[in-house]
Amino acid sequence: MSTLNIVLVEPQIPQNTGNIARTCAATNTRLHLVGPLGFSIDDKKLKRAGLDYWHLLDITTYTGLDDFFAKNSGPYFYFTTKGRRVHSDVQYPDGSYLVFGREDAGLPEDLLVKNPASCVRLPMFAPARSLNLSNTVAVGVYEVLRQWGYPRLQSAGRLTQYDWDQPTT
């Protein structure tokens, strides 16, 4: 069983974290929340964004980065607008941790400068500052899962009122 981990470092916006939680639930991806958080884990906005997917989540919280790193071993990939490598040029092994920073500040630069080979970015139009955090996580998750052949994910849908194999009259 392949395992993918999403790490949010000090997320500030409950709706973003809720959206990311829903992505994690829909992709069978583990979610790690590194504090301090900018909201309560019981926040209605957080739960509302995740809707009825909370029972599908594998979620762990940590008091800070030291706590997180003491309890987990990589490989780590740091998503940052400051990265010099494109996210899709990297091969992600089983057990990878995709690490994302605060919406307003990103990841600490002292962490990035110590791990330059593990810093990746999404290509963007130069005047744009960054993508929304939940969108960036979704792009990262699906790139890894694409490389892995979408393990355990359903790749075909079903119509509710029609049958794909029966012509309509």
Which residue numbers belong to the known binding site for S-adenosyl-L-methionine? 101, 122, 130
With contact defined as beta carbons under 8 Å apart, do 4 and 98 qualify?
yes
Nearest Cα neighbor of 39 from 70, 24, 61, 65 is 61
118: which 2 tokens? 């593990």
Binding residues: 101, 122, 130
Cα gap 167→169, rounded to integer Å: 7
Distances (CA, A) of 26 to 9, 19, 123: 21, 11, 25
